[in-house]
Chains A and B, each alone.
Chain A
């Protein structure tokens, strides 16, 4: 075990730790160009917010960095967070970035990479106190929840659950809860969500059909969205949805599943959070992966803008949310280049 004071030179992890790391950590350790492009997009927003970030009570950035903390290393490289001469996080940056890592040994590996980093040793679900809309984080966790950027780099698929015959997506419920905390504590402060998911869809048919109905229903509100969807999905799937035929998203090709999520997730989120006073602007909506045994992934950057119309004209807010969903859609090729929709 050797320690190098240069943060750039710190090994991602030593071999003694490698076998104890979760598959998510190992996947995130892979410094693929596509993922690096995503991190650069994250960095861009973070740098712009950093200009106005003073001695805020809330963190600038809440992240699930994995043991390797590649996002934080990039942020460090660009001066967003500072380090001491021994390579530990400078006191001035300690409240600025907060990490969440459930696995104790991964947390240790992460702590070795960045001594001084605050690590909440829970999974995000526990952090946000599950899916109940009656229980919320308290104390410091409430503050962390109000971070100006929350990065849910989940590497899991959009799993569903059924509560009293209602189909729910726990990940989206967590985001809704984050919104509620922001509404209650910092209602006027815009914030950002980075969300990354494995695009595999394994919903049963009834869930697919409910989602298809949800998409179809929204097409009536926005011709622009309808047209973009036709372009993105291709005629066959589009017509299936628009004509109300049974659909099974689980049977689609991986790329098509990616495209389904590119629309479903932002729309569903917009539907869930606009009533809490937030207009979602989808800044990036990108799919990547799928080659060299890499999983198919979808990633978004959402800006949550405080919108006072939420109580008086919630539908207007919702329609505004829909406008940006597919205008930011694109694809990141394996060499890290961003290409427009499709």
Chain B
């Protein structure tokens, strides 16, 4: 970084950021696939700065975005050290944990660069507790994107700084960092604020989560008609994408009560992080909410200690596809931050005869730091040849296989039995009604016997099975002839079949 000090005013400074070429390559090709991915990087930076509260302001038009936290802040020396060469970040130099024991998410310090994808200019205001210095820096991404040779006159003569800074005054007890993303790129704005849906295929009225209390967001996410987050407007989809990725708490009532105690340690670990994100005034929770009764679901804990990696998590299975589909599959978290979104294929799990049931599963797995080595710079993809990845993938597939088997027995078959039982009960009710209303009028004893027979059927699988049999008309005639032949006279038979033909032919 080339720095200069304004001779007229010692509070002002500027300089150039030299970014490693590989980062520039990534930047030019677009490191982040969506605004949500960019925003979560900035929020995770706040988390690493030990913030307990982050506020994001997007609405009404994303013309300017604010990400503000109450973290430890940044001073000029730290800013310059951090930005000297972005890819050689010093984030974990002193410790890989924050002051209150959070494992730091960022590693190579490209979080701030995520803003580059969203805007042309970013202003930073930051101050640290115990200091009256308020750092104010304006970063010019537009300038940074130019080739280095275009930015210089000579080796030392910087044409225009990538950033300009000044030191202002703040209260001694204050500590915060505020990012102002300005000149937001036009193509990003509709994705972040549009009240239209992502998907044109859904013709329903657009739904939005803007301005809803957490309990109402949960209700929306539990709505059985919700197929995908793209049923919401683009604003809400982006908001949910952000919420999925950052280390925030689960919403109350996110999982059927019966399983809460099984996952209380996960809930507690997240709560202990003491990290809240407000999105246009809306307190975010993890958008993982399951809509199922206790009876038709199962939960399986995942614990794995391997040679290369350790991990823990849960596999939740419910009867029927997980809705919305965005939370179906496997979500990997490292240091509490999600790596990309849910992977519907469970890391290329081989299709089995349980393929349908696979769509009933939603899993979250927290891997230890050893998997970080497998993570590519985009924090979205993993190197599939990395030993930690290979080992964990095998363990996950093994566990998934067992879970699917259990689900087949406990949920799929149980549901099938339940459905059969319901059909039998319906059949019994129909016969009872006919017996009571019609047969009992002409043959009360016969009606009583029939009712007794039906009562007995409760304990007889054979009879219950028989009650569900379906017959064709021909088979029906055959049965009637078989039974009545021995009981009725020829005249009675004649009359019976006359009426039967008339009745069936109606």
Which residues on A are within 8 Å of B, measured CB to CB?
A: 1, 3, 5, 15-16, 18-20, 83-91, 94-95, 104-105, 107-108, 111-112, 115-119, 121
The closest CB in chain A to the CB of B195 belongs to A91
Query: Which B residues lie within 8 Å of A118 (CB)?
Result: 60-61, 63
Task: Tell me if A16 and B174 are in contact (CB < 8 A).
Answer: yes
Contact of A88 among B63, B68, B123, B210 (CB under 8 A): B210
**Interface check B70, CB cutoff 8 A:** yes
Q: How far is the CA of A121 from the CA of B181 in the complex (A)?
A: 12
The closest CB in chain A to the CB of B64 belongs to A121
Task: Tell me if A115 and B53 are in contact (CB < 8 A).
Answer: no
- Given the known inter-chain contacts A19-B170, A84-B211, please indicate yes or no for A94 contacting B55, CB distance below 8 A: no
- Given the known inter-chain contacts A16-B171, A88-B210, A112-B55, please indicate yes or no for A104 contacting B281, CB distance below 8 A: no
Q: How far is the CA of A15 from the CA of B278 in the complex (A)?
A: 19
Task: Tell me if A86 and B282 are in contact (CB < 8 A).
Answer: yes
Query: Which A residues lie within 8 Å of B281 (CB)?
Result: 3, 84, 86-88, 115-116
The closest CB in chain B to the CB of A115 belongs to B281
The closest CB in chain A to the CB of B125 belongs to A105
Q: How far is the CA of A15 from the CA of B134 in the complex (A)?
A: 15
**Interface check B66, CB cutoff 8 A:** yes
- Given the known inter-chain contacts A105-B125, A108-B68, A112-B55, please indicate yes or no for A85 contacting B211, CB distance below 8 A: yes
- Given the known inter-chain contacts A3-B278, A20-B134, A121-B64, please indicate yes or no for A111 contacting B57, CB distance below 8 A: yes
Task: Tell me if A94 and B212 are in contact (CB < 8 A).
Answer: no
A-B contact pairs, 25 of them (CB 8 A): A1-B70, A3-B281, A3-B283, A5-B213, A16-B70, A16-B171, A19-B171, A19-B174, A20-B125, A83-B211, A84-B210, A86-B281, A86-B282, A88-B281, A90-B211, A91-B195, A94-B60, A104-B178, A108-B57, A108-B68, A111-B57, A112-B55, A115-B59, A117-B60, A118-B63
Task: Tell me if A104 and B57 are in contact (CB < 8 A).
Answer: no
Interface size, B (range): 20 to 34
Q: How far is the CA of A111 from the CA of B282 in the complex (A)?
A: 13
Q: How far is the CA of A133 from the CA of B98 in the complex (A)?
A: 56
7 tightest CB-CB pairs across the interface, nearest first?
A: A84-B211, A115-B281, A88-B281, A116-B59, A94-B60, A115-B280, A111-B57
**Interface check B315, CB cutoff 8 A:** no
- Please name 9 further chain A to chain B contacts, defined as beta carbons within 8 Å, in addition to the given A5-B213, A19-B174, A88-B59, sorted by A numbering: A1-B55, A3-B281, A18-B171, A84-B211, A86-B281, A88-B280, A91-B211, A104-B125, A111-B57
Within 8 A of A (CB), among B33-57: 53, 55, 57
Task: Tell me if A94 and B59 are in contact (CB < 8 A).
Answer: yes
Query: Which A residues lie within 8 Å of B57 (CB)?
Result: 108, 111-112, 115
- Given the known inter-chain contacts A20-B170, A116-B281, please indicate yes or no for A108 contacting B60, CB distance below 8 A: no
Within 8 A of A (CB), among B163-196: 169-171, 174, 176, 178, 180, 182, 195
Q: How far is the CA of A53 from the CA of B125 in the complex (A)?
A: 39
Query: Which B residues lie within 8 Å of A15 (CB)?
Result: 171
The closest CB in chain A to the CB of B59 belongs to A116
